[in-house]
């Protein structure tokens, strides 16, 4: 950003490290890196369109492409249910996370009260606890309460997130307190101030948290793997592992890559649409 602003003033030197040659070398290196980043996806997609006899052909664009593999995986495994489950669980998680994390973030940023710093520290310290340590107790609790192998069982550990509270608090802190006080003088009650003044002002943050939560929920793996047992209730990542591990002969690589494409492409599309929000959210959470 700063380079772009400074550029008109120092037209000869666009970049911090100088020369035109260096900049050319940077483009070459970045382009090579792009190939490394993109190639696995291209190879995955290419494989998903192949006929079994072309499995070992190294062509990126298959001589004869087929959509049959997509039909086949939807026939062989409940991919529709898996996608439906993943979307449903992600949407519910996003809703509860946004509602609770926004409110808690707001209160922790804009009010002073007894025990505030203790509460904040308590919530943030849960970020240090490895999920694996919680998974065994969660599993025992879920089994005891009959939550195992249910949607609620998958959902319950993630309905409020410490990460989201932290993120929302960062954003909420920048709200001018004078604005909130003015609304108080105007007689708006605290719920009204939060709903009508504070929340509309942090819409970009809410957008960022929404999309980050959706992605992490979609890709969540370890806990659903443990809590779910019925094939129809699986989420996409658990389904992919199950589906891929079941297939044994080498031709099934085509089907595995088809499944991987189905699970990866929607998220890449989502990212391309919402990349501004995603990048802002990560940059903000990473830096403060």
Partner 1 sequence: MIAQAIRLTARKSRELLGFRLSYRTQRYLFIYLVLAFPLLYFLGTRLLPILYAFNVSVREWDLLSQEKPYVGFANFTALFEDEVFRKSIVNTLIYVLVGVPGQLAVGLAVALLLHNVRRFRGLFRTIYFIPYVTSAVAVSWVFRWILMRNGWLNETLLGLGLEPQLFLQSPRQAIYLVILTIIWQSIGFQMLVFLTGLEGVPRMYYDAAAIDGAGPWRRFRHVTLPLLNPVIVFSVVIGAISYLQTFGQVLSMTNGEPLNSTRTIVLHVYALAFQRFQMGSAAAATVILFVMILALTLLQFKLVRRKVEY
Give residues 142-201 in contact with partner 1 (rule: CB under 8 A). Answer: 156-157, 159-160, 162, 165, 185-187, 189-191
Q: By C-beta, is 80 or 221 nearer to partner 1?
A: 221
Q: Does 279 bind partner 1 (CB under 8 A)?
A: yes
Minimum CB distance to partner 1, residue 51 (Å): 16
Q: By C-beta, is 11 or 200 nearer to partner 1?
A: 11
Q: By C-beta, is 71 or 283 nearer to partner 1?
A: 283
Q: Does 3 bind partner 1 (CB under 8 A)?
A: yes
Q: By C-beta, is 85 or 263 nearer to partner 1?
A: 263
Minimum CB distance to partner 1, residue 177 (Å): 14
Residue of the chain from 12, 17, 53, 121 that contacts partner 1 (CB under 8 A): 17
Binding string, residues 18-37; x marks residues near partner 1 by CB under 8 A: x---xx--xx-xx--xx-xx
Minimum CB distance to partner 1, residue 231 (Å): 16
* DSSP per-residue string spanning the chain: -HHHHHTTTSTT--BTTB-HHHHHHHHHHHHHHHHHHHHHHHHHHHHHT--GGGTT---SS-SS--SHHHHHHHHHS-HHHHHHHHHHHHHHHHHHHHHHHHHHHHHHHH---TTHHHHHHHHHHGGGS-HHHHHHHHHHHHHHHT-TTSHHHHHGGGSS-HHHHHHHHHHHTTS-HHHHHHHHHTT--HHHIIIIIIHHHTHHHHHHHHHHHHHHHHH--HHHHHH--SGGG--HHHHHHHHHHH--SGGGHHHHHHHHHHHHHHHHHHHHHHHHHHHHHHHHHHH-
Q: Contact region for partner 1 (CB under 8 A) — 64-72, 75-83, 120-128, 201-209?
A: 120-128
């Amino acid at each position: 950003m700063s380079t772009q602003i400074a550029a008109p003033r120092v037209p000869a030197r666009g970049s911090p490290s100088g020369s035109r040659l260096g900049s050319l070398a940077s483009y070459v290196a970045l382009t090579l890196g792009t190939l490394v980043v993109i190639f696995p996806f291209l190879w995955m997609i290419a494989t998903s369109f192949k006929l079994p006899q072309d499995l070992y052909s190294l062509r990126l664009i298959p001589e004869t492409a087929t959509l049959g593999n997509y039909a086949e995986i939807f026939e062989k495994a409940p991919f529709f249910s898996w996608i439906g489950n993943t979307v449903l669980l992600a949407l519910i998680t996003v809703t509860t996370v946004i509602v609770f994390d926004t409110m808690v973030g707001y209160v922790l940023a804009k009010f002073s009260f007894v025990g505030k710093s203790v509460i904040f520290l308590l919530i943030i310290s849960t970020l240090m606890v490895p999920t694996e340590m919680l998974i065994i107790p969660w599993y025992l609790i879920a089994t005891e309460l009959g939550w195992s192998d249910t949607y609620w069982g998958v959902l319950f550990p993630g309905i409020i997130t410490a990460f989201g509270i932290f993120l929302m608090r960062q954003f909420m802190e920048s709200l001018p307190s004078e604005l909130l006080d003015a609304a108080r003088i105007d007689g708006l009650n605290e719920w009204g101030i939060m709903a009508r003044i504070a929340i509309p002002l942090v819409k970009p943050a809410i957008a960022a948290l929404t999309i980050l939560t959706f992605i992490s929920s979609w890709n969540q793996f370890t806990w659903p793997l443990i809590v779910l047992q019925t094939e129809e209730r699986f989420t996409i990542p658990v389904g992919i592992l199950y589906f891929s591990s079941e297939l044994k002969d080498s031709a099934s690589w085509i089907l595995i890559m088809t499944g991987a494409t189905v699970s990866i492409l929607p998220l890449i599309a989502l990212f391309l649409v919402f990349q501004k929000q995603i990048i802002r959210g990560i940059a903000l959470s990473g830096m403060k």
